[in-house]
Amino acid sequence: MLELSTNGLAIMANVVVYALLGVGVLRLRRLRSVDPRNPVTVYRKLERVLGRVYPNTRGDTLRELLMRAKKSYPDFDWKALEREFDEYEAYRYGGRPKPSSVKETLRLTNSIRRRKD
């Protein structure tokens, strides 16, 4: 009888350890960083993050979501963010070269993700 309960405890411990490992892997995968060389993925991630923060904004454009975020996150360089976004839109829809930087956009995205988790 003692062996059975020891084996049962070992199995339960394994289940707990593997479940925690699985949760950790899923969390790391979700928090995986975005490639800053690809502005499309950076802004796609930003849009997803802002959509989670402002869930009742279905149909709003990314620019409208950024205007909402501007009120909630005043500690960012919003002029740089707007410049980066303008460069991104010109690249995405106007055939211009890739934006020179998306550093401030990544900083905002990561900050919102950390606050949300």
Per-residue pLDDT tens, the chain, 117 aa: give them: 445 677 788 888 888 888 888 887 777 666 566 777 888 888 988 988 888 888 887 778 889 989 989 988 888 899 999 999 999 999 988 888 988 888 888 888 888 877 754
The token pair at 63 is 């620019």
How far, in Å, are 59, 90, 102 from residue 51 at the CA level? 10, 23, 19
- pLDDT value for 30: 62
Contact in structure between 66 and 53 (CB atoms under 8 Å): no
Contact in structure between 108 and 48 (CB atoms under 8 Å): no
Query: Are residues 24 and 38 both part of a single domain?
Result: no
- pLDDT value for 53: 87
In the chain, how many domains are there?
Answer: 2
Which DSSP state fits 90? H
Query: Are residues 56 and 111 both part of a single domain?
Result: yes
Query: Are residues 63 and 112 both part of a single domain?
Result: yes
- pTM, two decimals, is 0.67
Query: Are residues 23 and 59 both part of a single domain?
Result: no
Q: How far apart are CA 16 and CA 12, in angstroms?
A: 6
Is 77 strand, coil or helix? coil
- pLDDT value for 1: 46
Whole domain around residue 26: which residue ranges? 1-32
- pLDDT value for 78: 92
Query: Are residues 20 and 37 both part of a single domain?
Result: no
Listed in sequence order, the DSSP H helices in the chain are 2-30, 39-53, 62-72, 78-94, 103-116
